[in-house]
Amino acid sequence: MAEKQRRKPGETREKLMTAALTLVGKGRHFASLGIREVTRQAGVVPTSFYRHFRNMDDLGLQLVDELGLVLRRMMREARANVLQADKLIEESVAIFISHAQANRSFFLFMAQGLAGESRAVQEGIRSEMRFFASELANDLRRLRLVDHLTDQDLDMTSDLVVRSVAFSLTDLLGVSADDDYQIEQIRKRTTRFLQLIFVGAAHWKSAG
Amino acid sequence: MAEKQRRKPGETREKLMTAALTLVGKGRHFASLGIREVTRQAGVVPTSFYRHFRNMDDLGLQLVDELGLVLRRMMREARANVLQADKLIEESVAIFISHAQANRSFFLFMAQGLAGESRAVQEGIRSEMRFFASELANDLRRLRLVDHLTDQDLDMTSDLVVRSVAFSLTDLLGVSADDDYQIEQIRKRTTRFLQLIFVGAAHWKSAG
DNA sequence: AATCCATGTGTACAAGTGTTCACTAATGTG
DNA sequence: CACATTAGTGAACACTTGTACACATGGATT
């Protein structure tokens, strides 16, 4: 019989989170996942679940935390790789798309969670997006590309940018991961969205 | 015992769809609803479900069709009520928000379906949004406010507008329906988003 | 008036669900 | 080394689930 096999601490915990993400990656919605289902996918007995999470919402919240890490990695890479200001938008979008592909399940979870069942998860994801937007605003301020904007207007612009990119995410996750043509279309369209927004920001007069 | 009580044709069908929406309105996610749960909410025996729908996805698809009607009503009202071009954005946003409040469950369903479990529902909602965007493009063309834009750029602008509004929807549905302050904030922010986009469109040069 | 069919009802069943409990082995701490 | 804690296991529970079946009934069609 299968004996207890204790391995690295937190390994089962990680297996459970990965299992949930895997199921989401297979097309399931997080809200419809059950404890037994997740433990089965993880190759663990159902009772083990309670050693690490109180319920599925709890697991979702911890996934949001990990999502935060993914987003921070993405920001860091963008900051490191986007050198020429004139290619800023194109390159940022490209980096975003490649990260979204590499962490497909994570971003699926994020897109689902925005209108998900758990209010806490919803709020967590929203909060991550706000953080992302505020970091973007800082970067833009630092680059001094939009000096004429008030802080408030800059925040609004960043917010709109982040939302637009997030929405493109749902486009991206809707097409199969190897449909290069469609992905290229999404990349182009997202780029143009952002360009349009920045043209607007360049000519924006506050309190208009 | 409760005898069969045949009423208007399609009444049970409607009761089932309303029941699903009601549950969504109560905070449940559509993907996590079950047949028994919906029939229970509708006050109908589980087997009745199969007289009208093959499964929950099927019910979802029919909800998307009804959602289309709601959107069309909203468009019609916007066209009838937005008279002065200079208040176009403000008034459209106001109409949108009031419709979103009046049909809260419908729009919750829409927000959920965008990243939902059923690919067909997802595609249906996306298709409704495309239609909405193309209608918006037509209206803008008719009003001759953005004459310098190519058809393609006009489509892109409309698309971005619809997406931004749709995202605001998730903000709106996240706050309680009688939190006037928050709703007013969302209204203002959405209005500014659209103004920013239109400033961008006004200064947009194609093939930039 | 006879018939058909769409739509309703009740019963049944096998499978899956969340959660509790008592038990056990590995690990970190004294 | 002894011991408390953590993290794994399997069996059991009371329910809920989707779906199939046989049957009833009202309205429409013939």
Among B31, B108, B114, select the one facing A170 at the smallest CB separation: B114
- Cβ pair A199:B195 closer than 8 A: no
The protein residue nearest nucleotide D25, judged by CA to C1', is: B4
DSSP string, B132-189: HHHHHHHHHHHHTSSTTS-HHHHHHHHHHHHHHHHHHHHHHHHS-TT-HHHHHHHHHH
One-letter amino acid at A126 equals R
Alpha-helical runs (H) found in B82-118:
88-102, 104-113
DSSP B115: T
- When scoring A26, A196, A204, A206 by the number of chain B Cβ atoms within 10 A, the one with the most, hence best to mutate, is A196
**Structure confidence at residue A10 as a pLDDT band (50, 70, 90):** confident
| Residue-level pLDDT at A1 | 39
> What are the distances in angstroms from CA B188 to CA A100, B89, B101, B157, B165?
31, 11, 16, 20, 12
Mean pLDDT of chain A: 94
Which residues in range 11-40 of chain A are in contact with strand D, contact meaning CB within 7 A of any of its atoms? 11-13
Q: Is the pLDDT at B150 greater than 80, yes or no?
A: yes
Predicted confidence band at A145 (pLDDT cuts at 50, 70, 90)? Answer: confident
A208 touches chain B (CB under 8 A): yes
CA of A119 to C1' of D19 (A): 33
Contact A114 B117 (CB under 8 A): no
**% chain A with pLDDT above 70:** 95
Predicted confidence (pLDDT) per residue in B69-117, tens digit: 999 999 999 999 987 778 999 999 999 999 999 999 999 999 999 999 9
The DSSP-derived string for chain A is -------STTHHHHHHHHHHHHHHHTT--GGG--HHHHHHHHTS-GGGHHHH-SSHHHHHHHHHHHHHHHHHHHHHHHHHH---GGGHHHHHHHHHHHHHHHTHHHHHHHHHHTT-S-HHHHHHHHHHHHHHHHHHHHHHHHHTSSTTS-HHHHHHHHHHHHHHHHHHHHHHHHS-TT-HHHHHHHHHHHHHHHHHHHHHHHT--TT-
Give the model confidence (pLDDT) of A84-133 as tens digits.
Answer: 778 999 999 999 999 999 999 999 999 999 999 999 999 999 999 999 99
- Tell me how many residue pairs between chain A and chain B have CB atoms under 8 A apart: 109
* B10/B19: higher pLDDT: B19
Give the pair of three-digit tokens for residue A169: 């995410």
Cβ atoms A57, A47 nearer than 8 A: no
Share of chain A above pLDDT 90, in %: 88
Residue A59's φ and ψ, nearest 5 degrees, are -60, -40
A24 neighbors A38 (Cβ within 8 angstroms): no
- What's the mean pLDDT in A188-206? 96
| Per-residue tokens: B160 | 């971005």
Nucleic acid strand C: bases within 7 A of protein CB: 6-12, 16-22, 24-28
Query: Which whole number is the average pLDDT over A30-40?
Result: 98
- Locus of tokens 């037509």: B138
| pLDDT above 90 for B4 | no
Does the pLDDT value for residue B6 go beyond 60? no
Judged against a pLDDT cut of 70, whether residue B207 lies above it is answered with: no
User: For residue range A44-89, what is the model confidence (pLDDT) as tens digits?
Assistant: 999 999 999 999 999 999 999 999 999 999 999 999 988 777 899 9
Query: Which amino acid, B6?
Result: R
Q: Residue holding tokens 């009601």?
A: B22
Residue A2 is predicted with a pLDDT of: 47
Contact state of B111 with A115 under an 8 Å Cβ cutoff? yes
Does any CB of chain B come closer than 8 Å to the CB of residue A198?
yes
pLDDT band at B145; cut points 50, 70, 90: confident
Nearest-by-Cβ selection for B115 from A111, A157, A202 = A111
Residue B165 with chain A: CB contacts under 8 Å: none
> Can you give the pLDDT at residue B85?
77
**Whether residue A6 has pLDDT greater than 60:** no
How far apart (Å, rounded) are the C-alpha atoms in residues B202 and B190? 18
- Among A82, A115, A110, smallest CA distance to A168 is for A110
Considering only CB atoms, B193 lies closest to which of A122, A160, A208, namely A160
Taking a C-beta distance cutoff of 8 angstroms, is the pair B204, B160 a contact? no
Q: What's residue B1's pLDDT?
A: 40
In this predicted structure, which of A4-8, A76-80, A149-153 has the lowest mean pLDDT? Answer: A4-8
Predicted pLDDT at B9: 65
Instruction: Find the Å distance, CA of residue A69 to C1' of nucleotide C24.
Output: 37
pTM equals 0.94
Cβ atoms of residues A168 and A110 within 8 Å: no
Q: How confident is the model at residue B36 (pLDDT cuts 50, 70, 90)?
A: very high
A124: how many CB neighbours lie within 10 A of its CB? 21
The helices-and-strands tally (H runs, E runs) of chain B is: 9, 0
Instruction: Mean pLDDT check: name the lowest of A18-27, A80-89, A133-142, B5-14.
Output: B5-14
Cα–Cα separations (whole angstroms), residue A197 to A87, A123, A144, B52, B195: 15, 26, 16, 46, 10
**Among A192-201, B28-37, B198-207, where is mean pLDDT lowest?**
B198-207
- Determine the average pLDDT of the residues in A167-174: 96
As a whole number of Å, the CA-based R_g of chain A is: 20
Tokens found for residue B31 = 């993907």
Q: How far is the CA of B8 from the C1' of D28 (A)?
A: 14
Distance between CA atoms of residues B18 and B175, nearest Å? 22
| Chain A residue whose CA is closest to B117 | A29
Q: Please tell me if residue B61 touches chain A, with a CB cutoff of 8 Å.
A: no
> What is the structure's pLDDT at B116?
96
**Predicted pLDDT of residue A193:** 98
Question: pLDDT, tens digit, for every residue of B46-64?
Answer: 999 999 999 999 999 999 9
* The pLDDT of residue B2 is above 70: no
Structure tokens at B163: 């997406």
Asked if B90 and B194 count as a contact pair (C-beta separation under 8 A), the reply is no
Closest-CA residue of B relative to A169 is B115
Q: Which of B124, B67, B128 has the alpha carbon at shortest distance from B99?
A: B67
